[in-house]
């Protein structure tokens, strides 16, 4: 699970960049229930 600090979104999958804003992702192992989850289709 990666986290985008720009979109405040959790990105599932092995992404190097945020698929939404192309920003740098933070590695995150824990998950907050309040965070929105985005599952990119591409
Ligand atoms: Zn983003």
> Where in the chain are the domains?
1-42
Q: How far is the CA of 33 from the centre of ligand 1 (A)?
A: 18
Element (H, E) at 5: none
Q: How far is the CA of 7 from the centre of ligand 1 (A)?
A: 4
Res. 29: pLDDT tops 80: no
Q: How far is the CA of 35 from the centre of ligand 1 (A)?
A: 13
Query: What is the pTM (predicted TM-score) of this model?
Result: 0.58
Mean pLDDT confidence for 11-36: 82
Percent of the chain exceeding pLDDT 70 equals 81
Name residues whose C-beta falls within 8 Å of residue 29's C-beta, 6 or more positions apart in sequence. Answer: 1
* β 9-11/2-4 pair status: antiparallel
Band of pLDDT at residue 40, cut at 50, 70 and 90: confident
Q: Which residue has the higher pLDDT, 38 or 23?
A: 23
């Amino acid at each position: 699970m990666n986290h985008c600090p720009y979109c405040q979104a959790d990105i599932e999958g092995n992404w190097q960049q945020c698929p939404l804003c192309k920003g740098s992702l933070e590695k995150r192992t824990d998950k907050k229930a309040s965070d929105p989850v985005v599952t990119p289709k591409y």
